[in-house]
Amino acid sequence: MFIGRSVFSQLMDLLPRVEFDACVRRYDGHWRVRTFSCLDQFLCMAFAQLAFRESLRDIETCLRSLKPKLYHAGIRGKVARSTLADANEARDWRIFADFAHVLIAKARKLYASDDLGLALRHMVYALDSTTIDLCLALFPWAHFRKHKGAIKLHTLLDLRGSIPSFVRITDGKTHDVRVLDHLVLEPGAFYVMDRGYVDFARLHTFTQQLAFFVTRAKRNLDYRRRCSRAVDPATGVRSDQTILLGGVRSSLLYPDPLRRISFRDPERGGRYVFLTNNFALPPETVAHLYKCRWQVELFFKWIKQHLRSKAFYGTSPNAVKTQVWIAIAIYVLVAIAKRELAIERSLAEILQILSLTLLEKTPLLDVLRVENLQPSESESGNQLNLFDF
């Protein structure tokens, strides 16, 4: 409810506080805490994300200048740079990871009925990773190269709503394919990946657990054709084959048949070869599924451009993971607000508007509603001319 409350406070009302308190108790987040609670920490970090603050000093300066409004925004503790830094260093990052998963579960229910344009009822996920560069002198634990540090953000994206359903943070040297060992596969779901995830032993696990994968074949794939299906060249499909792996080691790691689809993009002219363990979908649908994988790239671009995931407020692994998980929680919270309030704007537009209106006492829906900004006839009639000729 509005009743003269700030936009930030109304947005934070969408947070399930009972579940947040449960996450705090699970990891003893309030052990030896007197004034600055985990909720205060989360709200300060959320404000920093939404207001595009770049440092702890920046956060402290802005929030202290707004001191009369902080109480009504839900921030009860005293905001100090050292206090927030200590909280990010000491309090378990899993508090915010678990809470982000609570929001993710809520968002996935809201977007479960979204149409992918494929006449496909199965769950569809896109798996990929992005590298966030770090200074090796400040982050010596983030191993990547000899003179460069980095972390990797491995993400499994639910393509209905572009909601991250699985996130794992590792150092930059971790190979992408290792994240497959940590996935909990859903029977009947589709997992779309690029060819960096081609590991036949791990891919065979998908088949054993009745899940489907779609990936690109490597150029040096050794195989033998078992049979071919008729295709319509007008759809861009060049061939649709059932194959068996030909290499001695590969055939042992993946002894079952695979489906190999050759596709030529009619728009760009590129040629792609896909591998999948699903033999029922039309070949053009398989190609379109792989094209939908681009949504995870857009998610990474959105995270890097609109959330503070590159300018970190702390240098320890705990501080970095805390900030990344709170950034993901804010992304999902904005997605929840977009769906619950039936807002037609994009997530990027919503975030830009919130950055300027966080502490205004205006109904949240009025702030985010798409309105015609063209002046009405009555207003334009009263408009004076700047120059008279």
d(CA 92, CA 84): 14
User: 330, 305 in Cβ contact below 8 A?
Assistant: no
Q: Which pLDDT score, from 0 to 100, does residue 374 have? A: 47
Q: Which pLDDT score, from 0 to 100, does residue 62 have? A: 85
pLDDT tens per residue across span 148-202: 899 999 999 999 888 999 999 999 999 999 999 999 999 999 999 999 999 999 9
Residues above pLDDT 90, as percent of the chain: 56
Domain ranges of the chain: 7-95+315-367, 194-292
d(CA 155, CA 170): 11
User: 131, 152 in Cβ contact below 8 A?
Assistant: yes
Whether residue 372 is predicted with pLDDT greater than 60 in this model: the reply is no
Among the listed ranges 208-222, 224-238, 248-262, 295-309, which one has the minimum average pLDDT value?
A: 295-309
d(CA 216, CA 193): 8
d(CA 149, CA 304): 17
Q: What is the mean pLDDT of the chain?
A: 87
Whether residue 380 is predicted with pLDDT greater than 70 in this model: the reply is no
d(CA 118, CA 297): 20
Whether residue 266 is predicted with pLDDT greater than 90 in this model: the reply is no
Among the listed ranges 14-28, 68-82, 274-288, which one has the minimum average pLDDT value?
A: 68-82
d(CA 156, CA 75): 33
Average confidence (pLDDT) over 261-275:
89
Sign of CA dihedral 64, 36, 309, 361: negative
CATH architecture of the domain covering 194-292: 2-Layer Sandwich (3.30)
Q: Give SS3 for 206.
A: helix
CB atoms within 10 A of CB 295: 18
Sign of CA dihedral 51, 54, 56, 60: negative
Q: Which residues contact 208 (CB under 8 A, 6 or more apart)?
A: none
Q: Give the residues across from 191 on adjacent strands.
A: 125, 213
Q: Which pLDDT score, from 0 to 100, does residue 387 have? A: 52
User: 89, 314 in Cβ contact below 8 A?
Assistant: yes
Q: Which pLDDT score, from 0 to 100, does residue 55 have? A: 86
Q: How big is the chain, counted in residues?
A: 389
Q: Which two tokens stand for residue 282?
A: 């039309």
Among the listed ranges 22-31, 68-77, 94-103, which one has the minimum average pLDDT value?
A: 68-77
Residue for token pair 């995931």? 309
Q: Which two tokens stand for residue 313?
A: 């407020």
Q: Which pLDDT score, from 0 to 100, does residue 284 have? A: 92
Q: Which pLDDT score, from 0 to 100, does residue 120 have? A: 82
Q: Which pLDDT score, from 0 to 100, does residue 388 have? A: 53
